A and B are shown apart, each in its own frame.
Chain A
Amino acid sequence: MRTNAPLISIKQLVNQFGSQCVHDHLDLDIHNHEILGIVGGSGSGKSVLLRSILGLQRPYSGEIFFNGENLLQISTEHFSRIKHHWGVLFQRGALFSSLSVADNIMLPMKEFSPLSPLEQKELMYIKLNMVGLESQVAGKYPSQLSGGMIKRVALARALALDPILLFLDEPTSGLDPISAAEFDELIVSLHTNLDLTVVMVTHDMDSLFTICDRVAVLVDKNMVVGTLPEIMETPHPWIQQYFGGVRALARSVPHHQSAPATPHKPTGQTNG
């Protein structure tokens, strides 16, 4: 297992829409077996970055390597074979509206896995359990689900093929705080048990503090990457403002932790 070489390496990425430049020679390394949090203001290009990695959008220039292979140069078939091992949760869920929840989750398995139909169905229920949904949901259609349920079903679908690399675009936005915390636990559990690498765009301070190994901040069309303490020491004004409110809270956490009943998580809240 390559531990030193990055799993994904983005070099000098430039993305442009007309005259609007979204990424200006951006560099980012994603390491094996880490949980990387991506933060940035609305419209700073987080989703565009994910779309570039996923091959949904051709960058203006730059290179994206996965395990040493340049994704922008390999054949489409090879790229799609690589993507069988990737799971993606889109910002708006992107469930197939004409398929039931069960069929949505089973679709990737039907297409690409050697499992028998019965096993697919059982695993579909297991995935539903994993994302914290009742089994009755299986028969519903996406238009009958709440926003948070759509997120969870979309995650279940992303997990259908037991991926090694998971991309999450704002997974906990739209979830209540308890579900969001459960979601974080789920990600950590998958991460430890499956040797999973997770790339998550998030604004959830809890997620950033408790589960992310490193944080990448998209500011000024480029990346500032580091562990959370390193990032919080960065003098950039946007970063200071973003984490400013939380720093105070974070400092006060040790006081709380002396009380036995308090969970280990700092209770930092984002106030957008």
Chain B
Amino acid sequence: MMDLQTQYHEASRSLTLTLTGDWQQSGAPRIHALLSQVPTQNISAITCDATQASRLDISAAWLIFKHMQQWEQAGIAIQFSHFPKEYFAYFRQLPPDDTATQPLQPSAIWQPLQEKVSWLGYLLTDSLTQLRSAISFFGYTLSVTGRGLLQPRRLRIPSIFYHVFTTGLQAIPIIVLLACLISIVITYQGGSELKNLGASIYTVDLVAVSILRELGVLLTAIMVAGRSSSAFAAEIGIMKTNQEIDALKVAGLNPYEILVVPRILALLIALPLLTLLADILALAMAALISTWSLDISTDQFVTRLQQNIEVRTFLAGIIKAPFFATVIAITGTWNGMQVDGSAESLGKHTTAAVVQAIFIVLFLDAVFSIFYYSIGF
């Protein structure tokens, strides 16, 4: 237990403070209490003696030092006895009133306004720089991919297959679920409306067109964006943090060739296949539901499909898959490359990868819709 013995020397009007026990950080409140009780009226000198302290840690010494300094400013001569002298060296090197010289500056009207404007400007230039970096990343990646396709020796075939496995094969269960659920929604919702109108058979057209042209590929892409874009960003981000990317560069290897290109090619393979799977499953599910609940036999369903739905309906959907795949892979890998070494930035860029991927996929889908309309596809 820490304690303080105060001894008053009449002749010299001085005090000797003797520290006893353990003086340590966890007792800070008691340190303050003990020292503020020291009577300093009519005292000309104070000596603080640590000879009898069984422990005196830096924090405790600092708190005592600060009290002593206050007394010194009040005109009392101070002296330390048996304090570890190394401590004082550390105390004296403190940055001069770093903590004191930060009062809030009187705020004029101008300053907040100026700050807002410069913040806006910063935001703008920052997003422009980002955009530029993303575009040049995209271009460079395309050129490396192109070079890889021209010289297949440079392609990392095992790596591509690995990523086809993780982004494609492992996504199958969730895609199956997704396709069936969306098919249930459309078939029941559309079917019941059309049944009221006595046009149940049109359910086939409704389901086929909406799934094949639009929903099959779009929902698959969104699901893959959620799964793989974030995974790409996190994988590459961690490698960046660990300086693995630097190590690759120093070893004379091109990180884009090793990390980015296989992921893009893998998604280019996986996403169309997943879309195909989703299309087939959704239609099969629709056929089943039609038989059960809408009195459309499977034969009728298939015949209607063959008569009314052209191949280009299917093509209109599946053509979009490679574009979406590229977008997802690029946003994921690019965001991974932007990670700067902190856990926080890893989280930020992983989130950004997903958000950007989904946003650009939807945006591209809108562009495709307008394009198809204008060429009458």
Show the binding face of A for B, using Cβ within 8 Å.
Answer: 1, 96-98, 113-115, 118-119, 121-123, 125-127, 129-130, 135, 141-143, 159, 161-162, 189, 192-195
Decide if B57 is an interface residue (CB 8 Å cutoff).
yes
Say yes or no: A162 contacts B344, CB within 8 Å. no
In this assembly, does B56 line the interface, its C-beta being within 8 Å of a C-beta of chain A?
yes
B311 interface contact, C-beta 8 A: no
Query: CA separation between A192 and B87, bound complex, in Å?
Result: 12
Query: Do B94 and A129 touch across chains, with their CB atoms under 8 A apart?
Result: yes
Return chain A residues, CB-CB under 8 Å to B91.
126
What are 9 inter-chain pairs, A to B, with CB distance below 8 A? A97-B241, A98-B343, A113-B25, A114-B25, A122-B94, A141-B342, A159-B58, A162-B58, A194-B55
Compute how far the CA of A136 lies from the CA of B288 in the bound complex, rounded to whole angstroms.
70
Decide: A125 and B342 in contact? CB cutoff 8 A. no
Please classify the interface of chain A as helix (H, G, I), strand (E, B), loop, or mixed, using the class held by over half of its residues. Answer: helix
Tell me whether A195 and B55 are in contact in the complex, defined as CB-CB below 8 angstroms, given that A97-B342, A97-B344, A142-B342 are known contacts: yes
In the complex, the answer to whether B90 meets A98 with C-beta atoms within 8 Å is: no
Name the contact of B63 in the complex, choosing from A96, A119, A130 (C-beta under 8 A). Answer: A119
Q: How far is the CB of A148 from chain B (nearest CB, A)?
A: 16
Counting chain A CB atoms within 10 Å of each CB, the highest count among B86, B340, B345 belongs to: B86
Tell me whether B341 is interfacial, beta carbon within 8 Å. yes
What's the Cα separation between A192 and B56 when bound, in Å?
Answer: 11
* B28 in contact with A114 (CB, 8 Å): yes
- Which one, A118, A125, A162, contacts B95 given CB within 8 A? A125
Contact status A193-B84, CB under 8 Å = yes
Of B56, B90, B343, most buried by chain A (CB within 10 Å of CB) is B90
Ranked 5 nearest A-B pairs via Cβ: A143-B341, A98-B344, A162-B57, A97-B342, A193-B84
Interface residues on B, range: 20 to 34
Q: Which residues of B contact A (CB under 8 A)?
A: 24-29, 54-60, 62-63, 84, 86-87, 89-91, 93-95, 98-99, 241, 340-345
C-alpha spacing A115/B63, complex, angstroms:
10
A193 CB → nearest B CB, Å: 4
* Contact between chains at A114 and B343 (CB < 8 Å): no
* Chain B residues with CB below 8 A from A1, complex form: 54
Q: With A113-B28, A119-B28 known to touch, is A126 a contact of B63 (CB < 8 Å)?
A: no
- The residues of B that contact A113 with a CB separation of less than 8 Å are 25-26, 28, 59
A96–B57 CA distance with the chains assembled, in angstroms: 25
- Contact present for A162 and B342 (CB under 8 Å): no
Q: How far is the CA of A189 from the CA of B90 in the complex (A)?
A: 12
User: Quick one: closest A residue to B30, CB to CB?
Assistant: A114
Query: 14 more A-B contacts (CB under 8 A) besides A98-B344, A126-B90, A195-B55?
Result: A97-B241, A98-B343, A114-B25, A114-B29, A119-B59, A122-B62, A123-B58, A125-B95, A126-B58, A130-B90, A142-B341, A143-B341, A143-B342, A162-B59
Question: By the criterion CB–CB under 8 Å, are B57 and A194 in contact?
Answer: yes
